[in-house]
Structure 1
């Protein structure tokens, strides 16, 4: 496979941010005298961001009158944590290095807002490793719309059909397919294997570790 660029989702793909996101939810729940949520359960909702966290913890949808203030408070708590417990997934740094050695352009396309994504990459010490970072508040369109991926390709100066998109959620696979890219679904992400029928997502590849991504690139 001729690959000139790889675009990655961020949370659940490059970085394990669940410890901080779940901790922020439980701080907010405690402030409102509500029971905290089990980590394993909450982890499956991290890919849905603040919407998923508040739905799980407070049974609220964005249309509810209490949602905006709770969302603001949640994000403030999460930001204060400064990604202290977030980590790169195993093998990710090595994958990045080997792609750079092969002169494969790397970028991130995430629905996470820029004011949270940029500090996260700095804390993880990979902020200089990606040639582009496209965030959820950069343009109106968000994944699964392909526009953010097309914008990333423009920045990398690589055509979409020469790129792979790597993610852990249905919206990632849909976005990649909508952009005409090959897609890779990672097993270490935040989907719920008991609920999500990932076979129906029809990713081109499914991997259990970063080494398998390198193997895909080699064929």
Structure 2
């Protein structure tokens, strides 16, 4: 493939963050006398940013713009203090990243998680090998909008044909397609293999080691 650069999604791809996200949101729901949700349920809420997650977690009867905004602010405050409690790299990820670094690939991260939190999780839970690292700054730039990922490709100073995008969600596959990048779907994240296959990714892998096999 002659790949020289990789842009990774974060949650569900490099790290499993579902418990910290769920725990933080459930505290807010409980304090508001709303029903809480299981970790499994949060897997279907995640992927489009915290504001969207908040909307999905709230009861339909109270899902107003004002209530979403109130809970969103409280969720950010809760999650920023707890975003690295249980979050950890998936098995095999650290070994994969070490091999990719030795191979000399440029690596970056693009997430729909809020920008400050994305940078914190990457800094505390992953090796210092990613440049640049971007999270969500405004809803307008949220994936699958390709604007940020195209800017990242420019900063990597590589031919776009030599960069792949790796993610675990339908949104990630749409982002890669919108940007004209080859896509690699990973099945160890938060969405089903069937939903990923429906997006026709260029590659789909079941273990981190398979990514190295693709580019080697």
Same fold (TM over 0.5): yes
Within the candidate set 194, 207, 211, 2:205 is matched to 207
Tell me how far 1:81 sits from its aligned partner: 1.0
1:78 and 2:76 correspond: no
- Written as runs of structure 1 = structure 2, the 5 A alignment for 1:179-190 is 179-190=179-190
Write out aligned runs for 1:95-174 (5 A).
95-126=96-127, 128-137=128-137, 140-174=140-174
Provide the C-alpha distance between the structure 1 equivalents of 2:20 and 2:56, rounded to a whole number of angstroms. 17
Alpha-carbon distance in 2 for matches of 1:166, 1:90: 16
SS at match of 2:129: coil
Tell me the secondary structure at the aligned position of residue 183 of structure 1.
strand
Task: State the Cα deviation string for residues 4-50 of structure 1 (Å, max 9, x = none).
Answer: 10000111111111010000111111101223212212223222332
Q: Number of aligned residue pairs: give it.
A: 215
Considering fraction of residues, name the structure with more helix: 2
TM-score (norm 2): 0.91
Cα distance in 1, alignment partners of residues 28 and 143 from structure 2: 27
Distance 1:60 1:201 in 2: 32
Q: Partners of 1:53 and 1:138 in 2: how far apart?
A: 16
Alpha-carbon distance between aligned partners in 2 of 1:206 and 1:163, rounded to the nearest angstrom? 16
CA distance in 2 between partners of 1:59 and 1:139 (Å): 21
Give 1:62 shift. Answer: 7.4
Please give the secondary structure, in 2, of the residue aligned with 1:81: coil
1:37 alignment counterpart: 37
Structure 1: runs of 5 or more not aligned: none
The C-alpha deviation readout for 1:71-126, integer Å capped at 9, x for no partner, is: 00011111111411100111111111111111111011112222111111122042
| Structure 2 counterpart of 1:19 | 19
TM-score when scaled to structure 1? 0.90
Contact residue 116 and residue 135 of structure 2 kept, 8 A: no
> For 2:35 and 2:143, how far apart are their aligned partners in 1?
32
CA distance in 1, matches of 2:188, 2:84: 19
Rounded Cα–Cα distance in structure 1 between residues aligned with 2:122 and 2:62: 29
